[in-house]
Structure 1
C-alpha cells in the first residue's frame, strides 16, 4: 500500500494517535484536513506536519454536533482527490456501568461509533472515486478492548467492538472497489487520553510508547493488512485465551477487580 502524497481527513488530530498519524502522512507528502475540538492542539499538529514536509488545513469541530459531518464534507468538496479517511476521534468514561451518567453513555456512542459510520457514509462515494488506480485508505481506530472486553469499560468496549465489526462488514462490502478498509486495535498506549487512568502493568495495563504503536501501524498499512493489532505479546496471549476459553479470562481478572476499579474509575476524556 502506497502511503505517499495522500489527501485526506484525520479526526481527533490534535493529540495522541491522530497527531502521530498526521505526522507520518505528512512526512510522506500528504495534504491533510485536521479535525478536532481545540484550535491550539490542531495548530500545533499543523506546525509539526509542516516541519515534516506535509501541508494541512484545520477544521475546529465537535463531531457530535448537528451538521459536523456535512461541514467536513463541504471543506473537502473542492479537493480533486480524497483518498484517505482516518476515523480516530474518540472518548472514554470508565467505571461501573450503574455509576456512568446517561450523558456519558450517549457521548461515547455518538463520538466513537455513530460519527465514524456517518462520516464514512458521507465520504464513501468520494473515496471510491479517488481510489481508482492505487486505492483509497479508510482506517478505523478501534481498541484492544474490542478483542477482550475489560471490566469497567463496558460502554467503551461496546462502541469499539461496533467500530471493528463496522469495518469488517464494510471491507467485505467494498471488495474490488479500490477502497482499502483497515481496522487498528491499539492496546493501552502512552497518550494524553490515558493520563487520568491509574492502572499499571501489575493490573495488566502496561502502556506501549506511542512511537512503537505508530511504527507497527504504519508498517502494517504499507504491507496492505486489514486487521492491525498493535498489542504487546502478553496481551495477545490473553486475546487468544479469550477466544478459546473466555471463562479463564474471567477467572484471571476476578482477584484484582477491586484494585482495577479503583485505578480506572477516574478515567475520563469526555
Structure 2
C-alpha cells in the first residue's frame, strides 16, 4: 500500500493505536478526520498530526450511537476523496459473563462490532470512487483475542472475532475493486485502555504495534499479527489443538479473574 497523501477517517483517534496511526499517516501528507468521544484528546492528536506534516479535522462523536455514522458522513461529504478508513475505536469490560451488565454487553457490541460494520457500509461508495492509482484502504483493528479467546473476555472476544470475520468477508467481496481490506491483531499494548487491569501480560509499546502495521501494509498483507513474536506459537496451537491451550490457561483462572476484574474502558 502507498500511504502517501491519504484522505481518510481514523476512529478512536484520541489516544493509543488510533493516535499513533493518525500521526504516521500525517507524516506522509495525510488529511484526516479524527473521530472520538473526547474533544481534548482529539485536539491533542490534531496538533500532533499537524506537527508531523498533515492536516486534521476533529469530530466528537460516540460511535456506539447510530446517529454518529451520519455525523461522520456529513463531515466528509465535502471531500473530493475518501480513500482510507481506520476502524480502531473500541471498548472493553472484563469479568464473568453472568456478572456483566446488559448495558456493558450492548456497549461493546455497538462500538466494537456494529460501528465498524455500519461505518464501512456507509463509506463504501466514497471508498470505491477514490481508489485512484494507490487504491483505497479499510484497516480494521481486531485483537489477539480473536486468535486466542481468553476467559472473562467472552463478549469482547466475540466482538473482535466478528471484526476479523467481517474483514475476511469484505476482502473477498471487494476483490478486484481497488479497495484493500486489512485486519490487525494487536496483543496487550501499553495504552490507557489497558491501565485498569493487572494481568501478567507483557504490554508492547504502541510504536512496536504500529511498526508492524506499517510493515504489513507495505507488504500488501491482509492479515497483520501485531503481537510479540513469542505469542505466535500459542496462536498456531490454538488453531490446531485448542484443548492444550485450555490446559495451560485453566489452572490460573482464579488469579486471572482477580487481575482483570476491574478492567473497564466503557
TM-score, normalisation: structure 2: 0.99
* Partner of residue 231, structure 2: 235
**Residue 116, structure 1, aligned to residue 112, structure 2:** no
From 247, 250, 253, the counterpart of 2:249? 253
- What are the equivalent positions in structure 2 for 1:40-79 lying under 5 Å apart? 40-79=40-79
Q: Which residue of 2 aligns with 1:8?
A: 8
**Matches of 2:97 and 2:165 in 1, distance apart?**
23
Cα distance in structure 1, aligned partners of 2:10 and 2:104: 24
Structure 2 stretches lacking a partner, 5+ long: none
CA offsets 1:75-116 (integer angstroms, 9 cap, x no match): 101101000000000000001111100000000000000000
Q: State the 1:142 CA deviation.
A: 0.1
Distance 1:19 1:247 in 2: 37
Contact 2:65–2:110 (8 Å) recurs in 1 = no
Identify the residue that residue 182 of structure 1 maps to in structure 2.
182
| Secondary structure, counterpart of 1:224 in structure 2 | coil
Give the TM-score normalised by structure 1. 0.97
Q: Deviations over 1:106-162 (max 9, x none)?
A: 000000000000000000011011013220000000000000100100000000000
Cα RMSD (Å): 0.7
What does residue 222 of structure 2 align with?
A: 226
Please name the residue that 1:197 is paired with.
197
Q: Is the 8 A contact 2:93 2:263 kept in 1?
A: yes
Matched, 1:19 2:13: no
Give 1:179 shift. 0.2
2:134 paired residue number: 134
Q: Number of paired residues?
A: 266
